[in-house]
């Protein structure tokens, strides 16, 4: 197991649920991250889906003690470099391209690459990846599909993301090839817009206690 794989696993094992955030207002980034960390969710994925995403990562990296910020929805080498420069400690992609594999190989910051089929998983294993994002989890076959991969693709570990809720998270977390899940329910937009950080801490606390 390589150093980057060990680093990624140590981050993903911090908690059963990695919050997947779409931050539209930069002013929300720091209090939102503090609320999540207070609830026990230290590793935080901030997706590059908004104009303020990179600045949000930078703010969380600089100002939120205990937070381990990562960048999600990273699609190319330029975004990878920008995310690392902003302070991301891990990078998440919805799928995988040769460009991403090339930049990840040269970077000290680990990549959690996306895969949804057995062939994609096998290709990533050939590239040395042991931990992958299973995306979009529910739409790609859910926990039953992922369970069916555990025997023929033994050794591959997953962070399922996409359609994960408090109702089905335990189904995924019970699988032998799941290290954690990604979910957006811990930071619903209504609570974020209202600045209800205590409410988000409560949701984060509940999520941090999820297990098989």
Q: Would you state the pLDDT for residue 166? A: 96
The yes-or-no verdict on residue 10 having pLDDT over 80 is yes
- For the segment 138-145, the average pLDDT, to the nearest whole number, is 98
* C-alpha dihedral, 111 to 191 to 180 to 47, nearest 10°: -10
The yes-or-no verdict on residue 105 having pLDDT over 70 is yes
- Whole-angstrom Cα distance, residue 56 to residue 50? 10
- For the segment 83-106, the average pLDDT, to the nearest whole number, is 98
Model-wide pTM > 0.95: yes
| Cβ contacts of 191 within 8 Å, gap of 6 or more | 199, 200, 203
The gap between the terminal CA atoms of the chain, to the nearest Å, is 26
Q: Would you state the pLDDT for residue 13? A: 97
Tens digit of pLDDT for each residue in 150-193?
999 999 999 999 999 999 999 999 999 999 999 999 999 999 99
133 is catalytic: yes
Q: Would you state the pLDDT for residue 212? A: 52
Task: Spell out the domains of the chain, with CATH numbers in brackets.
Answer: 3-203 (3.20.20.70)
Tokens of 186: 């811990």
| Count of beta carbons in the 10 Å neighbourhood of residue 81 | 15
Tens digit of pLDDT for each residue in 47-56?
999 999 999 9
How much of the chain exceeds pLDDT 70, in percent? 100
The yes-or-no verdict on residue 5 having pLDDT over 70 is yes
Q: Would you state the pLDDT for residue 211? A: 80
Give me the catalytic one of 106, 133, 193, 206: 133
Q: Would you state the pLDDT for residue 181? A: 98
What average pLDDT does the chain have? 97
Give me the catalytic one of 13, 24, 45, 138: 45
45 is catalytic: yes
Q: Would you state the pLDDT for residue 125? A: 97
Q: Strands of 17-21's sheet, edge to edge?
A: 111-112, 90-92, 68-72, 43-47, 17-21, 181-183
């Amino acid at each position: 197991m390589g150093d980057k794989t060990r680093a990624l696993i140590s981050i993903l094992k911090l908690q059963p649920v990695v919050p997947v955030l779409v931050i539209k207002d930069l002013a929300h980034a720091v209090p939102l991250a503090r609320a999540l960390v207070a609830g026990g969710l230290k590793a935080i994925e901030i997706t590059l889906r908004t104009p303020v995403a990179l600045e949000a990562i930078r703010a969380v990296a600089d100002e939120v003690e205990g937070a381990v910020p990562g960048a999600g929805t990273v699609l190319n080498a330029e975004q990878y470099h920008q995310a690392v420069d902003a302070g991301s400690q891990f990078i998440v992609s919805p799928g995988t391209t040769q460009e991403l594999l090339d930049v990840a190989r040269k970077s000290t910051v680990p990549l959690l690459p996306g895969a949804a089929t057995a062939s994609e998983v096998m290709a990533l294993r050939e590239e040395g990846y042991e931990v992958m994002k299973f995306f979009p989890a529910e739409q790609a076959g859910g926990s039953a599909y992922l369970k069916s991969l555990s025997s023929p693709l033994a050794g591959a570990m997953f962070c399922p993301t996409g359609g994960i809720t408090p109702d089905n998270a335990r189904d995924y977390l019970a699988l032998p090839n799941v290290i954690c899940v990604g979910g957006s329910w811990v930071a619903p937009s209504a609570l974020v817009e209202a600045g209800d950080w205590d409410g988000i801490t409560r949701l984060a606390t509940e999520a941090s206690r999820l297990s098989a």
